[in-house]
Amino acid sequence: MKIHIYLLSFATFYLFILSCQSQTGNSEKENSISEKLTAIENNQDEKLLDKIFYKDAIIYLPDAMPIYGKTAIVDLYRFIWNKNGSQPQTYVIDSVTTKKDSAIEFGKYIYKQKNTVDTLSYVITTIKEQKEMKIKEIVYGNSKENWLLYQNQQENIKSGNPHISTLKPKLRIIDL
C-alpha cells in the first residue's frame, strides 16, 4: 500500500513538473517580445517595427546617446538597414519577469559585426497598450548606467564643480 502511495505521489509530482515546464517554456517563446524583434530585425520589417514600440520608447546603445521616441527609433533602424543591409542577429532569453500589464526580459543579444560574432547583454521593458505588449525601453550592455554617469558629470560641470565623478549613479528600481 505504501509503495502505491509513493508511486502515485511521484507520478503526480512528475506530471506537475512537466506541465509547468511546458507552460513556461512555450509561453516565454511564443509571447517573447525579443522573438518578435528578432524576426523584425532579420526581415527588416518597418511596418511591424512601428507597431512593436511604445510611442515614448527609449533605446540605450553603447557609446551613443539614448534614442527617444518611436519615430526616431524607426528612423534609426531604417538608417542601419540601408547602410549595413541585413546582418543576422538574435536575442537569447535568460529570464522574464511579468506582471499584469508589463514585463522585463533579460538576455543576450548576439549579432555579427564585420567578420566577428559579438554578444551584448540586454534588458527589454514592455508595457501593455491597447491589449498589445509594446517595447518601452531597451538597454544594451551597461549603456544606461554610462549615460546616467555622463549626465551626472555634466551636472557637476554646470554647477561649477568640473571634476570627473567617480560615483556610480543611483539606478531607479522599476516596480511593476
Tens digit of each residue's pLDDT (9 = 90 or more) over 121-136: 899 999 999 888 999 9
Between residues 4 and 37, which one has the greater pLDDT? 37
**57-66, pLDDT tens digit by residue?**
999 888 888 8
Co-location of 43 and 75 in the same domain: yes
Rounded-to-integer distance, Cα 53 and Cα 51, Å: 6
Co-location of 80 and 128 in the same domain: yes
Range of the domain at 27: 1-31
**48-84, pLDDT tens digit by residue?**
998 999 999 999 888 888 899 999 999 989 988 888 7
Rounded-to-integer distance, Cα 166 and Cα 176, Å: 30
Between residues 52 and 166, which one has the greater pLDDT? 52
Co-location of 3 and 79 in the same domain: no
**160 is a domain residue:** no
What per-residue confidence (pLDDT) applies to 31?
Answer: 58
Co-location of 68 and 100 in the same domain: yes
Q: Please provide the size of the chain in residues.
A: 176
Give SS3 for 165: coil
Give the CATH number of the domain where residue 52 resides.
3.10.450.50
Chain mean pLDDT for the chain: 74
Co-location of 22 and 93 in the same domain: no
- Our count of domains for the chain comes to 2
